[in-house]
Amino acid sequence: MSAADKAPKGMFKHGNALEWTPERIARLSPLEIKQLRANAERLNEPELVALCGEALKAARRQQRAR
C-alpha cells in the first residue's frame, strides 16, 4: 500500500479533469466549452484543454453545415 493509499481522504487534491468525456463536453454550448477550457488552462489540465479544443472545432463544423 502506498503512502497515498494510507493518507486520509482529502489530503491530496485530485483534479476533476478525468470526469470530462468528449460526449459530456459536446453537450455544452460553445461559450461553456470556452470557459471550461480557460479553467483547464488555469488549472494546468492539458488533456482537458485538448478535449475542449476538439469540441470547439466540431461545434464550428456543425454551425457551418447548417
| 57 part of a folded domain | yes
Full-prediction pTM beyond 0.85?
no
What's the domain range around 57? 21-65
Write out pLDDT tens, residues 17-66.
Answer: 889 999 999 999 999 999 999 999 999 999 999 999 999 999 998 888 87
Report the pLDDT value the prediction gives residue 65, as an integer from 0 to 100: 86
Burial track 18-53 (b if 16+ CB lie within 10 A, e otherwise): eebeeeebeebeeeebeebbeebeeeebeebbebbe
- 13 in any annotated domain: no
The answer to whether residue 3 scores a pLDDT higher than 50 is no
User: Does residue 14 sit within a domain?
Assistant: no
List CB contacts of 17: < 8 A, sequence separation 6 or more: 40, 43, 45, 47, 48
pLDDT given at position 35: 98
User: How many domains, the chain?
Assistant: 1
